[in-house]
A and B are shown apart, each in its own frame.
Chain A
C-alpha cells in the first residue's frame, strides 16, 4: 500500500524539493562542467599533441574567483536548507498530540483519550505533534514520504510535527540502529478523512482491531500486538530473540534465576512475573536484559487477557 501520489504528502515535501533540486542542480552543472573540462584538457594537452608543457605557477585572480563564487553558492544552498528546516521546530498550537512509544522493536502510538494503536492513524489536514518516547535505546521515527525524521532518545523529551495533506498509507521506518530486529521495526501512517478518523477515535475499545466474532484470547492478542510483543516472541513456534508462545502455557521450562538453573511451570503467576519483572527468570538459551518491564503500561486486567490468549495457543 505504498502511496505513489505522495508528492505533497506532507507540508515538508515542497521545501525539501526546493533545497534538494537547487543543490542537486547546481552540483550536476558543476560536475558535468568540470568533468568535461578535465577530459578536454587530457585530450587537448596529451603529450602526443603538446610535446612541451607551458609552466604556469598560478593566477591569483582565478584563485579569488573560484573561492568567492563557491562561497556565494554554498551560502544560498545553506539558506534553502535552513528555510526548509525552520518550520520543523515550530509546531502549531492547535496540533493534535500523539505519543509515540518506541521499544525494541516496535512502535506504539498512544492518543490523548488513552487509545493505543501500533499503526499511526491521523486525520488529514490536521497538524500532528508526536511526542517521542523511547523505553530502551535510541530509535528514530522516519516517514520517507513526509520527508521527516527525528531520533527518539531515552530520557529526553522530544517531538516532531507534520501536516498530512493526502489520505493514504505511508511507511514508517526506524532509522537509528537499535539491535537485532532493527530492520523489522516499521509501521504505517494511515491518513484518514476527518470523519473516518472521528469515528475511529470515538470507538470505545481502548485497543483497536478486535473483530466482532473474535474467539477466546482475541482481546489479549490485540493488546500484545499493540505492545509489540510479537517482534520477539512468535505465536507459531518460530524462535526469535525470545521463546515462542506456541504450546507454552502449562509446560515445564528450565530458567536461570539469580544464575542458578531451576524448573518452573508456565502458570498465570509465572506469566505475570515474566511481564512485570522480565529479568527475574530467563529461559535457558535466551539472552537476558533485552526485555523491559511492562508495569507502567499493562493493567492486571490486560495481563489476564494475555493469559487467556496464551492458553488459546495450546494444541493449535
Chain B
C-alpha cells in the first residue's frame, strides 16, 4: 500500500489507490477492505445456506414427500452443512471482525502479512467455488453429509471429490488467517500494550489462531487421504480395501471438534467487548477471562471422542472423553459468570448490540447445558445422532456464533460504515429472530428426546406435531433475519453520520474516526492503561 500522508487522511472507503472500481477492492491489501470482502462473501453464502435450511424445514412439515425428493433433501443437508460450517461460521468472526478490528484494537496499521491476508480470501473463494461446482457436475451432487463419513462416502455416486477438495482449500484460508493474526499479535502491538493490556477480542483471536494453525492441517491430510483412497484405491478408511472407518472418524473429529472453538472463541471475545462497553464498566475478572479463553483452546483438543460414543471405541476411551468433555464446560461457565458480574453495578445503556449479547448468553447457556446431557455417557447413547444433537449444536453455533456475529455487526457497524443503523427496526428484527430461533430449535430437543434421528427425510407419525411447530419457528426466524439484514443495508443510505465513539467505548478502535483512515492511526498510540479503563 502507498505510504503517502496528507494532513486530512481519506477514510479507507474513499481512498484512491493504484486501482479503480472493483479492482480497488479485490486487489486491496488493506485489512479493512479485505474484511468487507469477507463480509459480503460470507453474507452471500449464509443466505444460500439459510435458504437451503428453510427449504429443508418446509420439507419436514409433514412425513413423506412435501416439496422435494429424498435425493434432493440429502444433497441439501450436505450442502447446508458444508457451506455453513466451512464457509460461514469458521471464517465468520475472525475473517470479518478480526480482520477489520484486530490491527486497530492493538494499535497497528495493518496485519503482519497484508498480501497473505488477501491470498487467504482468494483461497476462501476458490474453496467455496469448488464446493458449488460439485453440485452441478459429475453424476449428481454429493449426499454424504458435511462429515463425509467412510465408507458411505466411497459408495455414493454423488460427486464428492470437488466438495472434499473445496473443504481442503478452505482449510488453507483458515490456516493462513490464523498464522497472520498470531504474528500480528506477537509483533505489532502498540508501544505499552503489554499482553495483559490487550482487549478480550484480540485475546480470543489469539487463542483461535493457534487452533487454526495446529488443528486445520489434520483435516487437510484427512481430506487428502479420502482423495487418495477414491482415486488410487489406497485402503485407509474403507473396510472393503482393508481400511478402518473408525480411523476416519477420529481424524475428522480431531479437527472438527476444535473447529467448534474456532467458531465460538471470537464470539465470546466480541460479547465481552459489547458487555463492557454498554455497561460502561471494566470487564469483571479480566485475567480469568483471558485464562479461560486459553483453557478452552487447550482442553478443546482433547474431547473429540465425544462424537463417537456409540461407534465402538474402547471403554477407557469412552469415559476418559466423557470426563474431559465435562471439564471443557468449566471455562465456558466461568465466562458466563464474569459477563453477568460485569453488568452488576454498571450503568447499562440498552442498545441493540447489548440485546444481542443478552440473547447470546441465554441461548449459549441452553446450548452448553444440553452439551452436558450429550457429554454424559448414559444419556448420549440414547440422544446421539438424533434431533437433540441438531438442537444442541444449532444453539451453540447459530445461537452462540450467530448471535455474536449479529451483535458485533451492530456494535461495529458505525465504525465500519461511518453510519448509524435504525435501532427500532434492528430491535424488531432481533425480537423475531430470537422468538423464531427458540421455537425452531427448542422443539428439536423434544423431537430428539422422543427418538427422531437426524438426517431424516421422512419420519414416523409420532414426530409430526413437533415438526410442524419447528417449521413454523423457521418462518418467524427468517422474517427476523430479513428485517435485520434489510435494515443494515438501508441504513447505509439513510443512517445518520456516525461519530468516532457512539457508544462511549474505551478500546482503541473508538479513538480513530468512523470510518477509519487507510492506515488507521495518524500516530501509533502509546498505551498506558488497561483495555477497559473507565476510571
Which residues does A use to contact B, with CB under 8 Å? Answer: 2, 12, 15-16, 18-20, 23-24, 27-28, 30-31, 34-35, 37-38, 41-42, 45-47, 50-59, 62-63, 66-67, 70-71, 74-75, 77-78, 80-85, 88-89, 136-138, 140, 142, 144-145, 147-151, 153-156, 158, 171, 173-184, 186, 287-290
Q: Is the interface of B mostly helix, strand, loop or mixed?
A: helix
Question: Inside 8 A of A287's CB, which chain B residues have their CB?
Answer: 139, 157
Q: Tell me the bound Cα distance from A247 to B501 in angstroms.
A: 78
Residue B460 at the chain A interface, CB threshold 8 Å: yes
Question: Inside 8 A of A83's CB, which chain B residues have their CB?
Answer: 378
* Supplied contacts A38-B340, A70-B334, 18 more A-B pairs, CB within 8 Å: A15-B378, A19-B378, A20-B378, A24-B373, A38-B361, A46-B347, A58-B286, A58-B338, A67-B334, A71-B327, A74-B372, A78-B322, A82-B377, A84-B377, A136-B155, A138-B152, A149-B385, A183-B456
Question: Inside 8 A of B385's CB, which chain A residues have their CB?
Answer: 140, 142, 149, 175-176
B155 touches A290 (CB 8 A): yes
Q: Tell me the bound Cα distance from A173 to B451 in angstroms.
A: 9
A201 vs chain B, min Cβ distance (A)? 28
Q: Tell me the bound Cα distance from A78 to B341 in angstroms.
A: 28
Q: Tell me the bound Cα distance from A53 to B344 in angstroms.
A: 9
B468-513 contacts to A (CB < 8 Å): none
Which residues does B use to contact A, with CB under 8 Å? Answer: 70-71, 74, 139, 143-145, 149, 151-152, 155-157, 239-240, 244-246, 279-282, 284-288, 310-312, 315, 318-319, 322-323, 326-327, 329-330, 333-334, 336-338, 340-341, 343-350, 358, 361-362, 365-366, 369-370, 372-373, 375-382, 384-386, 450-451, 453-460, 462, 534-535
Given A74-B329, A144-B451, A56:B375 Cβ within 8 A: no
Q: What are 23 A-B interface contacts by the 8 Å CB criterion? A: A16-B379, A18-B378, A37-B340, A38-B358, A45-B348, A50-B346, A55-B281, A66-B333, A67-B330, A70-B334, A78-B322, A81-B380, A83-B378, A84-B379, A137-B152, A144-B382, A150-B310, A154-B245, A175-B384, A177-B144, A177-B152, A180-B71, A287-B139
A31 touches B366 (CB 8 A): yes
Given A149-B381, A175-B453, A42:B343 Cβ within 8 A: yes
Q: Tell me the bound Cα distance from A207 to B465 in angstroms.
A: 37
Q: Tell me the bound Cα distance from A263 to B376 in angstroms.
A: 58
B376 touches A19 (CB 8 A): yes
Given A2-B462, A77-B376, A62:B279 Cβ within 8 A: no
A53 touches B279 (CB 8 A): yes
Q: Tell me the bound Cα distance from A184 to B65 in angstroms.
A: 12
B310 touches A151 (CB 8 A): yes
Question: Which residue of A has the minimal Cβ distance to B244?
Answer: A155
A45 touches B347 (CB 8 A): yes
Q: Tell me the bound Cα distance from A153 to B74 in angstroms.
A: 21
Scoring B246, B337, B350, B381 by chain A CB atoms within 10 A of each residue's CB, the highest score goes to: B381
A182 touches B333 (CB 8 A): no
A5 vs chain B, min Cβ distance (A)? 15
